[in-house]
Each structure stands twice: as C-alpha cells, then as structure tokens.
Amino acid sequence: MPPKTANPAKPRPRSEERLFLTIVLCLAAVAGLGSWFAASALAHRDQLHGISPDKPRQLVEFALTGADGHTVTRADLDGKILVVSFLFTSCSLTCPEVSKRMAEIQRRTANDPDVRLLSLTVDPRTDSPAALAKWGARFGADTNRWFLLTGQKSVLYNLIGTSFLPTDSDDPFNSMPGNFSGTERIAVVDRHGHTRVFYDGLRSETPSAVVAEIERLRHEP
C-alpha cells in the first residue's frame, strides 16, 4: 500500500493577494505622507522670522561713551541704518553668541557706509570703556563702525527701555541687569530712527536675515 502524501496547500485566491498588496501600498503611502508632513513642519519651525516690536519704538536722544573713549550721540547716527545688540561683559552664555552674530554682520556690511552697529551694555557699573574695548577686541569690533556703548545707567536704561526692549520685573528667573526681556535679540533700526524688527541673536541664520532687512530698508523712501 503506497504511503499517504500530505495534501498540497491550496493556492491563496488572487483576490486576497490583491487585498494584501493594496493594504501594504496604503500603509507605505501613509508613512511617506506622514514623513513629508513632519519634514515640512520641521522646516517651517526652523524658518527664521523677524519679531516685531511690542509697540512703536523710536530712537531717543542720548550721549554715551564708546569703547575707544569717544562720545557717541543720537545725532551721530542720523540717516544711518542701525543694527543693535545688548550685552554685559560678565555674561558667559548668550552674550558671546550674540556678539558672534554681530561680528558676522560687521563683516558682511564692511563696505556699507550707511550701516552702523551698536552694542549697549545693560551693566554700566561694571562695563567701563576699557572692559568694552576688551570685549570688542575679542570679536574684532571696528570701533569706527561698531560702537560698544556705556555711560550713565539712567541714560542707558532710558534708551534701551524706550527704544528697544520691555522689562519684566515679575520673572523670578530673569537675572538680566535692568530686568529687560529679549536681550538676546538683535534689532534693526531704519534711517529715520524707527525700530523695525528684531531677530534671534542666537541663531546662525540671523546675519543673513539682518543683511536682507538692511537691503530692503535701503529701498524705502
């Protein structure tokens, strides 16, 4: 008597194969679409957008002392496009990064006589002209174009608080002298003295954004 053989498996109906293939393709499409949306969202998040001032702000009158010991006044900057940052020389985290961005902006605007850079200390008690000169040398500041300014606290705080930044005395984690908010930002001021926009001074893309904004302001009346 011949040995029994196992019954061969029945072939899977073609309809089941088509259904299985359809499910696989749909899952692949959903996964691909999800990846596209994730990448799109990440790119959108990483785009650098200018930050508008919290209210209309304009450059007020002032007289301050530069790192070279010379007096700089509001009148000295008439008709110039200004790039403005904020610092204190005992700052070891954000201030050096912002100054690196300012140094790059200085390099990119080296041939632009209508542009001046300002860095305003929020700690004038410590930041003497000599201290600012040492800071500026660290970042290659050209004191003919990049003014690192100190002076009377009342004058500095009036300039910063009126022309640029709000204060936040209720923030227990704000260790910034003067309680100013947004000191990591870099401001762009048009030739009429209006503070137009801020950029994040901690972002590597900021110098390019600032230079583009300067070019745009040049075409305004």
Determine, yes or no, domain membership for 138: yes
Q: How many domains, in total, are found in the chain?
A: 1
Determine, yes or no, domain membership for 189: yes
Distances (CA, A) of 179 to 131, 133, 172: 22, 24, 10
Determine, yes or no, domain membership for 195: yes
Distances (CA, A) of 53 to 120, 166, 196, 210: 17, 9, 7, 15
CATH number, domain containing residue 99: 3.40.30.10
pLDDT of 82 reads 98
Token pair recorded at residue 24? 């696989």
pLDDT of 171 reads 60
For the entire predicted model, the pTM comes to: 0.78
Determine, yes or no, domain membership for 39: no
Confidence of residue 72 (pLDDT cuts 50, 70, 90): very high
Contact 23, 168 (CB under 8 A): no
| Residues in a beta bridge with 95 | none
pLDDT at 178 over 60: yes
pLDDT in tens, 51-68: 999 999 999 999 999 999
Residue closest to 85 by CA, chosen among 184, 191, 168: 184
Contact 84, 180 (CB under 8 A): no
pLDDT of 96 reads 98
pLDDT in tens, 94-103: 999 999 999 9
Determine, yes or no, domain membership for 80: yes
Distance CA 63, CA 147 (A): 12
Of residues 93 and 25, more confidence is placed in 93
Of residues 201 and 37, more confidence is placed in 201
Determine, yes or no, domain membership for 34: no
Determine, yes or no, domain membership for 119: yes
Determine, yes or no, domain membership for 23: no
Distance CA 111, CA 70 (A): 23
pLDDT of 47 reads 54
pLDDT in tens, 16-29: 566 656 665 555 55
Token pair recorded at residue 1? 């008597």
Domain that includes residue 197, residue range: 63-218
pLDDT of 175 reads 62
Distances (CA, A) of 196 to 87, 115, 164, 208: 20, 15, 10, 16
